[in-house]
Chain A
Amino acid sequence: DAGITQSPRHKVTETGTPVTLRCHQTENHRYMYWYRQDPGHGLRLIHYSYGVKDTDKGEVSDGYSVSRSKTEDFLLTLESATSSQTSVYFCAISPGPDDADTQYFGPGTRLTVL
C-alpha cells in the first residue's frame, strides 16, 4: 500500500463522540487526501492537504475536520460522530502538483457509529 498506514483499522463508537483517524506515510509525498467509500456512492473526497498546515474541503466535508502538522501525518476528526458517518475511510497520497491525480491509497479504516 505504497508506504501508507492507517490507524485504527477498525473502530466502533457511539453517536456524539469525537473520533480521530490517522494516516501516516513514509513516501514524503506532498499531497494527502481523505475519502469515504459507501455502497452506491463510490469514493467521495472529504478533505485534502497540499502541504503542512495547508488543507481544503472536498465534496462531503460537513462534520469533518482535518489537520496536518507534519508531512507524514494527516488526521481526520469527526467532531461529533453520527450514524451517517458509518463508512470505510481511505487515505490517499500523491507526489505533488505534476502528479496530483496519481493517487495511492492506504488500507482503510472501517468505522461504525452506533
Chain B
Amino acid sequence: QKEVEQDPGPLSVPEGAIVSLNCTYSNSAFQYFMWYRQYSRKGPELLMYTYSSGNKEDGRFTAQVDKSSKYISLFIRDSQPSDSATYLCAMSAGRGSTLGRLYFGRGTQLTVWP
C-alpha cells in the first residue's frame, strides 16, 4: 500500500462548480500537508500548505485536514477553466532531521469546461 493514495481521475466539471479533491494516507506521523497544482508540461506549483488538522482558506481554495481519519481535501469554489490542471497532494512528517521529505499522491487531473 502506498503511503499516500489519490484518485487520478480524470475529473471533469462545468465552470462555476465546486470541486472536491481528496487524498488518504497511512502514516500517522504526517503533520504537514500540501497541495500542488501542475499545468501540462510545467513544474508543480505550491498552492496550499497546512499544518496538522483544520481548515485553511485562500481565495477560492480551501484545504481541509482530518488527521483522525487520515484524510485531506482541497475544495475549489467557483471553478474556472484556468483551474484545469493536475492537483498533487503531498505530506511530510516534519522538518529538521527529516529534511522535509515529501510523500506525493499520484495527482488528480481536473478539467473545467466553459
Residues of A within 8 A of B (CB): 1, 4, 31, 40-45, 48, 50, 56, 58, 90, 94, 97-108
Contact = CB atoms under 8 A, between A and B. Distances in A.
Contacts of A100: 92, 95-96, 98-100
A60 to B, nearest CB: 12
Interface in B10-54: 32, 34, 36, 41-46, 49
B106 interface: yes
A54 B105 CA distance: 28
A106 to B, nearest CB: 5
Of A44, A103, A108, the most chain B CB neighbours within 10 A belong to A103
15 contacts: A42-B88, A42-B104, A42-B105, A48-B99, A99-B95, A100-B95, A100-B98, A100-B99, A101-B32, A101-B34, A101-B95, A102-B46, A103-B100, A105-B36, A107-B43
B42 to A, nearest CB: 6
Contacts of A106: 43
Interface in B83-114: 88, 90, 92, 94-96, 98-102, 104-107
B93 to A, nearest CB: 9
Contacts of B104: 42-44
A105 B44 CA distance: 6
B42 A108 contact: yes
The 5 closest A-B pairs by CB, nearest first: A100-B100, A101-B100, A105-B43, A101-B92, A42-B106
B107 A102 contact: no
A41 B43 contact: no
Contacts of A99: 95, 100
B43 A90 contact: yes
Given A102-B100, A104-B46, A40 B106 contact: yes
B97 to A, nearest CB: 9
A100 B98 CA distance: 8
Interface string B61-100: 0000000000000000000000000001010101110111
